[in-house]
Structure 1
Amino acid sequence: MTNGLLFYWFSWALWIIVTFLMRKSNKRTILACWILATIISSNLYIEMESQQISVAFLLLVGGSFVLLIQLQHMIYHLFASFTIMIGYAAILLWEKSSPVWLILPRVIIISFILGLLITILTKGFYNQLGIGLLGLSCGELIYRLMLSGYGFRVSIGEMQFFDVLLFILVILMLLDVLHKAKYKLYAVLQNHKQTMRWQND
């Protein structure tokens, strides 16, 4: 149980990358403020009858909708988000009923399963980010509401959820970096081959 440790590590690292390594633009400013506000509000909860809902969770849902609206093929991405939502809620229910199958830490298993599913459903980092954020947050909401229906007092947007979320984002970022590096390497090799042909001619 990491209890938010991964969330704080990865989110601060992400804030540093966005703030100091991205080119200056309105997108950079909005992203940096969004990440910082999510970190600050991660321990703030709103009381609602038998539930608590995290303020950071609400910021996440709102931001994911804004991000998804700006993407092309919005209908497809909404359908993909719905698939992620069902997948995440199903994994959590499976974990609740049969915890024995978790031979590795839950953060690792859930993150790799959903990270693989996200990369299969869509290409492009911002597309994957949009459907991942919305699908995971809606899946968390559905799962917690189902527990609440059985009489449990639940907290929507606990730190365990943010650990999984940030771990998935790190996986998607690494895959995006490797994907871009592969194409750059391929372009360099193609240029080298073309240069060698010219020299031979």
Structure 2
Amino acid sequence: MEGAMFYWISWFFWVYLTFLLNKKNPYRLKLSVIILILIFLSNFQFMVGIFEIQAGGLFILITSFIFISQEKRGAIIYYFICSLIVLIAYVTFHLFEIFDPIWIIIKKEWMMGIVFGYLAILLQKTLKGRLLIVICGTMQGEFLHAYILNKIPFPYKIGAFEYLDVCALIAALLVGWSLLENAGAILQSHFHFFEKGKQKTS
């Protein structure tokens, strides 16, 4: 069922942000509100010319633009370059899927989640940066993909539940990877602490 993965992951993040995350975290309220609005808008769509657009996808794209606009000029340019790389990879993936679908060896959502999660990890060092370039790149890729398919012609809904499933899965994988990175840093700090303690006792 399309949208099931999106709803499960979104509600999990919302519950964590609302009830479990430290209340002093500056992103806690913003992210919980964004997720609630995204869930609410996910069922709405509208037409712009010949293109049908899902309101939820457009909302997270605009939200990402707002977050990026608050960065310094150099960071904004780098975000743009990274988003462009993700955009090209996203459209290329979908075009290969149409013309040569046999190379998709596992479920498409998981394959896209792994590929674009890994690409985001290579391009950005922070979780915030990774999420922003994935959302900007893939959602803009949705627009370009719809434009290309319109030339065939082939109907395509921009930011549909299929896209939201993939986007939610990528976000979950990136959050999981970020937790592993931080866990490594914590373990390393404790290891050095124990080493110092041994040196003092000796």
Q: TM class by shorter-chain length?
A: over 0.9
> For 1:190 and 1:136, how far apart are their aligned partners in 2?
41
What does residue 157 of structure 1 align with?
159
- Deviation of the 1:22 alpha carbon: 2.6
What does residue 51 of structure 2 align with?
51
- Deviation of the 1:144 alpha carbon: 1.2
> For 2:132 and 2:172, how far apart are their aligned partners in 1?
14
> For 1:180 and 1:101, how far apart are their aligned partners in 2?
34
> For 1:27 and 1:111, how far apart are their aligned partners in 2?
24
Deviations 1:76-98 (A, max 9, x none): 11100110011111101111111
2:27 match: secondary structure: helix
> For 1:124 and 1:71, how far apart are their aligned partners in 2?
14
8 Å contact kept, 1:50–1:153: no
What does residue 144 of structure 1 align with?
146
TM-score (norm 1): 0.94
> For 2:106 and 2:201, how far apart are their aligned partners in 1?
55
- Deviation of the 1:100 alpha carbon: 1.0
Stretches of structure 2 lacking an aligned partner (at least 5 in a row): none
8 Å contact kept, 1:15–1:36: yes
> For 1:71 and 1:97, how far apart are their aligned partners in 2?
39
Deviations 1:50-84 (A, max 9, x none): 32101111111111111222345121111001100
What does residue 14 of structure 2 align with?
15
1:27-42 to 2 correspondence within 5 Å?
A: 27-42=27-42
- Deviation of the 1:131 alpha carbon: 0.9
Over the matched positions of the two proteins, sequence identity in percent amounts to 27
Q: How many residues in Structure 1 have an aligned counterpart in Structure 2?
A: 199
CA RMSD of aligned residues (A): 1.4
> For 1:48 and 1:152, how far apart are their aligned partners in 2?
16
Pick aligned residue for 1:113 from 104, 107, 115: 115
- Deviation of the 1:168 alpha carbon: 0.4
What does residue 90 of structure 2 align with?
88
Q: Which amino acid aligns with 1:62?
A: I
2:106 match: secondary structure: coil
> For 1:173 and 1:71, how far apart are their aligned partners in 2?
21
> For 1:55 and 1:198, how far apart are their aligned partners in 2?
61
Q: Find runs of 4+ consecutive structure 1 residues off by over 4 angstroms.
A: none
> For 1:142 and 1:36, how far apart are their aligned partners in 2?
27
What does residue 100 of structure 2 align with?
98
TM-score (norm 2): 0.93
- Deviation of the 1:152 alpha carbon: 2.1
Stretches of structure 1 lacking an aligned partner (at least 5 in a row): none
1:150 match: secondary structure: coil
1:52 match: secondary structure: strand
> For 1:12 and 1:107, how far apart are their aligned partners in 2?
19
Deviations 1:151-192 (A, max 9, x none): 223211111111110100011000100000000000000010
Structure 2 CA distance for partners of 1:10 and 1:35, relative to 1, 3 Å: same
What does residue 77 of structure 1 align with?
79
> For 1:88 and 1:60, how far apart are their aligned partners in 2?
17
> For 1:22 and 1:162, how far apart are their aligned partners in 2?
24
